[in-house]
Amino acid sequence: MNSKPLSRWQQTIERNPAHSQWYIERFKAMAAEGRDLVGEARLVDAMVGRGSTILDAGCGPGRHAHYLHERGHTVVGIDLDPALIAAAEADAPGPRYVVGDLYDVVLPDDVPSSYDLVFSAGNVMGFLHPDTRRPVLANIAGWLADDGRAVIGFGAGRGYDFAEFVADARSVGLEPESLFSSWDLRPLQDDSTFLVAVLHRA
Ligand SMILES: C[S@@+](CC[C@H](N)C(=O)[O-])C[C@H]1O[C@@H](n2cnc3c(N)ncnc32)[C@H](O)[C@@H]1O
């Protein structure tokens, strides 16, 4: 019996195996409509030097990873959903994609062991099982280069209070350097419904 805490994403696909394909098709449709799907990746690109190493934690079908690869960075995308990784490899080629749980994944030998920037967009934090939050944040801290930074965005109302997230990050040695309420860097306020946290190793 597997006693590993399942992320909410895994719980969802166990209940509804078609969910992954629905998600893939949803973003393909938005891309076909010409929607801007890479605002998060543009911010990340602006934060790093050319030819940086970037890890996309919970990369899904690879929209951000692909954008960053196209800008010349060495990009690794990790996601626990094999259907989304297959879609990323087919539709967003270039980065090295890895099927793995951010909770316990071991980076393969053919990818960098440390990164200039680790980022996580699209509410990945909100999907984590509460028992895995600190271990996942500890892994993110461990993947950062000494002067690397993590950029993590997620929405309120998903069971992970922003203050709790900041406390969890600090507890594993990730120090917030800036907190925003959006990927275009609006200030975080008491009633903000989204958090974009920029963190470095303490
Ligand atoms: C809403 S999607 C966002 C995907 C991508 N970051 C984006 O912005 O397009 C949430 C993603 O989190 C991934 N995820 C959730 N828990 C995870 C975990 N513990 N380890 C790895 N990936 C996880 C899911 O598989 C899913 O791809």
Predicted TM-score of the model (pTM): 0.97
Angle at 117 between CA 177 and CA 80, to 5 degrees: 115
The model's pLDDT over 23-43, given as tens digits with 9 standing for 90+, comes to 999 999 999 999 999 999 999
Residue 62: CB within 6 Å of ligand 1?
Answer: no
pLDDT computed for residue 2 by the predictor:
57
**Ligand 1: distance of its center to the CA of 119 in Å?**
12
The model's pLDDT over 108-165, given as tens digits with 9 standing for 90+, comes to 999 999 999 999 999 999 999 999 999 999 999 999 999 999 999 999 998 999 999 9
Which ligand 1 atom is at minimum distance from the Cα of 132?
19
CA dist 23 and 62 (Å) reads 12
β-bridge partners, 6: none
| Distance, CA of 88 to chain centre | 14
